Structure 1
Amino acid sequence: MKSKRGSSAVFIMVILAALVSITLALIYGVRAEALRSRMDGIISLAGDSLMSEFDIDIQKEYGIFLLKGSDRELGKKLRRYIEYSTKDMGDVELESVKVSGSRFSTVNVDLIRDQILEYMKLAYAEDRLDTLTEDAAEGSAENAMENRTLRHGPTAASLPSSSVPDESLTAVARSIADNIKEADKAFVEGTERYMINRYITDTFNSRTRAVSKEHFFRNEVEYILGGELSDRKNEKRVEMALKAMRFPLNLAHIYSDAEKRAQTLAMAELLTPGAAAPATQAVLASTWAYAEADNDVELLWQGHKVPLTKDRSTWAMDLDSAVEGIMGGTAIPAEEKGYDYGQYLQLLLFFKDENMKISRILDLIQINARMSQDGDFLMNEHWVGVAVQVRVNGADYGYEKRY
């Protein structure tokens, strides 16, 4: 009997010991899980705090969030945030803190593009964007800022677009003339390409529109298209592109208009009678079309509109003036309709390579920031997100934070 009682006592003691062990294990596990959950929140919040240190001036002016700092500098900041939040937690051993921005470099233009689209979508949702307006009143469409040239070597050498291959703007313009039916797509509101281009024309200066006198270049939109380090050179590139676009369209109108064909043939037969007349007619038609294209650009610069495809009412130049090269000023057509200069820029932007456009947006931000905010500002020292790796009490925590 005593033996049975002893066995029962031993059995009960074993059960009690097991229950105590299980209880302690559960308590320890719950405590460890509670600590892990708390640390998860602390580290994530510390990462958010780190991301809050974006460049406020850049964000206000361009709607883009940029975080500056080397991996080491950002790691030290994150450690300080975590240590501050855990200073009263005696059971926390912060073993390692690592931050890397390499995966979120501004070299990845898709990340910048995403931010611009988010900024524009918010602007649309809040109705902060006006409808497309005229560049300026007729005859007063001049941006009064002075022309500038970027001569600072280190700034030019460090531009984000310096390693991005570019295409000829004139070739882009000719492709528009060849694909004229695609031109209307440039003005379809709500599309991503439209919003990127609208961001450019709303944020940066152009020849006919001054957005900010605090910006370095007078012709910023033209810079995005042309890529030269001089306002005058970018203006010239866009001028050549517009003429390259307008010339074949004007020539097509001349050959489609019976009256203009008759005028060129009559003058050709007068100048070179006989078999040479058709060849002379072709030269006269080309001369007339180019003179009209030259006049088109002047009209756009003065705030007038020029349609992509013309009719008799929107044609400005007469044949005699075109051939003689005598102009008493800009010829004004009988009827004004079509696109203004800003819309022609938007048309060129629509057919421009997207990566190059974003890269040159970053160029302009860097140039302007170095002029007005921080003389040492470099886009390649900034990130649009970070990867965080932290080890606490042997447990690993990993996060990606992105604007």
Structure 2
Amino acid sequence: MKSGYITVYLSLVTGILLSLLLTVMEGVRMHTIRTQTECVMDMAMDSALAEYHREMLEQYDLFFIDMSYGGRSPSFSNTEEHIRSYMNMNFRPFQIFNIPVGKDLTALTAQDVQLQQAAVASDEKGEVLKAQAIDYMKDKWGLSILEQAAENAGLIQSGGFLESDVEERRLETEEQVKNAILNKEQQEDEEWEGRDQELPSDVVNQARNEGILRLAIDNSSSLSSASIPVGTLYTGRDIVLEGTGLMQGIQTPSGIADTCIFLRYIMEKCGNYRNRKETSEISYQVEYLLQGRDNDLDNLRGTANKLLLIREAANMAYLYGDSGKQNEARGTALLITALLGLPELEEAVTQLILFAWGYAESVKDMRMLFDGEKVPVIKDGGSWNTPYSQLLTFRGHLSEYPKGQSGLGYEDYLQALLFLMPQEKVTGRLMDIMEADIRRTKGNSCFRIDGCIDGMRAEAAVSSGYGYQYTIARSYGYE
């Protein structure tokens, strides 16, 4: 009777213990599923980020995932599938590596992965790409790279050299003088001494018509004529892939400091006339950022003409403040107007001579810049390089200048001009350059900058063969 009592007791206790044991085992299984899912999700996200685009890193020191993975069409679903695939590989490594195992106690499978957020390089008009480039420059150089871009741009802007009406005033003055001479010719006979009188500005104007590149570059035959298909690049496409913008915690680039750092990045990674980038689609890349034309020659010509206008305006400002040089021009004007019998044109002819002198000096400035020398934004007597005696023969003296002068070099002027441009336009054209250069490389003929991401938030739906469902989300990016 006593042993039977013990048997019933053990039966009751065993049932309770078995229930507890099974409950604990099931709790362990659920905890294991949760922990394994978290670990596998982290590994999958790391693996996805490890597939960064090699050429973006090699050429531009930027980390981005190309969502086309070398194909023709980038898509968020491609990256989602890569993450899901990595998860399932880590859930069941024994199927890949032939690892002998017993029973799979979790039997987990990633059923679906959705990108809830994705920071595409071109999002917010390129702010995602710009933010990473600025971080790269800060890590590489610190804040010591805040050079003179803003200050140089301020000198050009404050002097009003970009908005100067020098050319308009020159044309108006020239028309006034020519009309007066024409009227005089109609009134005088054929023996009038001033009939064939040539003005100093006429000689300079003949040079103007040849174009600045032929004057300022010693060997214009060496210029690049390469081109890019702008219509197929980022700024030429009507439809671009859009993400969700900068990831949380990433600061939007703003202010003068960030602009200067980004422009320094551009000057470091892009080629220009003075510093060409090897294996690039076009040689004058910074000039493309300024002009946006589809070929090197037009971009260089447009940039040179803009620099010429700045130099003309600055040089005319100096001439108007130098009484000695004005007196030299006025002396010639007095002689010419006396021969013409038009003393009332003295001031106008003086102005034409000054315009011609300013242009001759500006062409020499351009020759110096293209030769790698420096030219100050605002000149003084010591930095003026064209004596009045060489005005009519200035083309033969363009290479005669003192070396090693202080001021700004060609790249300094380019950087200042970039600073004065709308930065959205600069960033957009930079992405054109990146696409064009990367498409030259093997396996990247269809590369698109709007198919690249540098951060994402993914949500995965996981199911277990034992009937459990689990959802997990993770945010990862390059930091």
TM-score range, shorter chain: 0.7 to 0.9
- Aligned partner of residue 372 in structure 1, secondary structure: coil
The aligned counterpart of 2:224 is: 147
| 1:159–1:366 contact (8 Å) kept in structure 2 | yes
Structure 2's unaligned 5+ residue stretches are 1-11, 68-74, 93-103, 149-215, 239-255, 464-468
Aligned runs of 1:313-324 on 2, under 5 Å? Answer: 313-322=382-391, 324=392
Residue 46 of structure 1 corresponds to which residue in structure 2? Answer: 44
Q: In terms of mean alpha carbon deviation, does 107-116 or 325-334 score higher?
A: 325-334
Residue number in structure 1 paired with 2:263? 197
Write the distance in 2 (CA, Å) between the matches of 1:229 and 1:140.
21
- Percent identical among aligned pairs is 21
Please tell me whether the aligned partners of residues 44 and 87 of structure 2 are also in contact (alpha carbons under 8 angstroms).
yes
- Inter-partner Cα distance in structure 2 for 1:312 and 1:383: 54
User: Could you say if the C-alpha distance between residues 243 and 126 of structure 1 is closer, same or farther in structure 2, counting changes exceeding 3 Å?
Assistant: closer
Q: Does residue 240 of structure 1 match 2:305? A: yes
Aligned-partner SS, 2:419: helix
1:147 corresponds to which letter in structure 2? S
Larger mean CA deviation between 273-282 and 239-248 belongs to 273-282
Q: CA separation in 1, counterparts of 2:25 and 2:441?
A: 59
**Once the 2 structures are TM-superposed, how far is the Cα of residue 245 of structure 1 from its aligned partner?**
1.1
| 1:169-248 matches, cutoff 5 A | 191-212=257-278, 214-248=279-313
Give the Å deviation of 1:217. Answer: 1.2
Counterpart CA distance in 2 for 1:283 and 1:267 is 11
Task: After superposition, give the CA deviation of every residue in 1:124-153 in whole Å (9 maximum; x if it has no partner).
Answer: 1599x9x99xxxxxx9999998613326xx
3-state SS in 1 of match to 2:439:
helix
C-alpha separation between the residues in 2 aligned to 1:308 and 1:198?
20
Q: Distance in 2 between matches of 1:292 and 1:305?
A: 14
Map of 1:168 onto structure 2: none
> Which residue type is aligned with residue 387 of structure 2?
D
The CA distance in 2 between the partners of 1:218 and 1:143, in whole Å, is: 15
Change (3 A) 1:306 1:107: same
1:2-401 aligned within 5 A:
32-69=30-67, 70-87=75-92, 88=104, 90-99=106-115, 103-108=119-124, 109-124=126-141, 147-150=224-227, 155-162=229-236, 191-212=257-278, 214-272=279-337, 274-322=343-391, 324=392, 326-330=394-398, 332-333=400-401, 336-373=405-442, 374-393=444-463, 394-401=469-476
**Please, which moves more after superposition, 328-337 or 288-297?**
328-337
Indicate if the aligned counterparts of 2:64 and 2:453 stay in contact, CA closer than 8 A: yes
SS at match of 1:98: strand
The one-character-per-residue Cα deviations of 1:323-382 (angstroms, maximum 9, x if unpaired) are: x36421315445722111121112212222222222222211111112233222222332
Contact (CA 8 Å) 2:117, 2:458: kept in 1 or not? no
- Conserved in 2, the CA contact under 8 Å of 1:147 and 1:218? yes
Structure 1 residues 361 and 147, CA gap change in structure 2 (3 angstroms): same
CA drift at 1:262: 1.4
Distance 2:276 2:363 in 1: 24
Change (3 A) 1:89 1:159: farther
Could you tell me how far apart the structure 2 residues matched to 1:279 and 1:72 are?
Answer: 71
Could you give the per-residue CA deviations for residues 49-104 of structure 1, whole angstroms, max 9, x where no partner exists? Answer: 11110111220221112212222222221111111111255343433222367542
Letter in 1 for 2:384: W
CA deviations on 1:238-284 (whole Å, 9 max, x unpaired) are 10110111111111100111111212222222223533222222222
Q: Which runs of 5+ in 1 are unaligned?
A: 1-12, 133-138, 165-189
3-state SS of paired residue (1:371):
coil
Are the counterparts in 2 of residues 148 and 216 from structure 1 also a CA contact under 8 Å?
A: no
Q: Is the 8 A contact 2:91 2:108 kept in 1?
A: yes
Secondary structure at 1:327's aligned position in 2?
helix
Task: From the CA coordinates, give the structure whose radius of gyration is larger.
Answer: 2
Residues 308/376 of structure 1: CA separation in 2 closer, same or farther (3 Å cut): same
Instruction: Tell me, yes or no, if the aligned pair for 1:104 and 1:386 is still in contact at 8 Å.
Output: no
How far 1:383 moved relative to its partner? 2.3
Alpha-carbon contact 1:59-1:65 (below 8 Å) kept: yes
Count of aligned residue pairs for this structure pair? 350
Work out whether residues 250 and 310 of structure 1, in 8 Å CA contact, stay in contact via their aligned partners in 2: yes
Closer/same/farther in 2, CA of residues 59 and 290 from structure 1, 3 Å limit: same
- CA–CA separation in structure 2 for the residues paired with 1:228 and 1:36: 56
Equivalent residues of 2:119, 2:454 under 8 A apart: no
Q: Secondary structure at the match of 1:207?
A: coil
Q: Which amino acid aligns with 2:293?
A: E
Distance 1:299 1:105, change over 3 A: closer
- Alpha carbons 1:193, 1:350 under 8 Å: kept: yes
- Would the alpha carbon gap of residues 100 and 76 (structure 1) be closer, same or farther in structure 2, given more than 3 Å must change? same
Counterpart Cα distance in 1 of 2:219 and 2:258: 30
Note closer, same or farther for the CA distance 1:296–1:326 as it changes in structure 2 (3 Å cut).
closer
**1:141, 1:303 within 8 Å by CA — same for their partners in 2?**
no
Q: Residue 40 of structure 1: CA displacement?
A: 2.1
C-alpha RMSD over aligned residues: 3.4
Letter in 1 for 2:267: T
Deviation at 1:118, TM superposition (A): 1.5
Q: Distance in 2 between matches of 1:102 and 1:163?
A: 21
Alpha-carbon distance in 2 for matches of 1:226, 1:392: 52
2: CA distance, partners of 1:264 / 1:75 = 74
Distance of aligned partners of 1:54 and 1:120 in 2 relative to their CA distance in 1, 3 Å threshold:
same
Instruction: Provide the TM-score with structure 2 as the length reference.
Output: 0.65
Q: Distance in 2 between matches of 1:106 and 1:238?
A: 26
Is 248-257 or 260-269 further displaced after alignment?
260-269
- Give me the whole-angstrom Cα distance separating, in 2, the residues matched to 1:383 and 1:350: 27
Residues 56 and 63, structure 2, Cα contact 8 Å, conserved in 1: yes
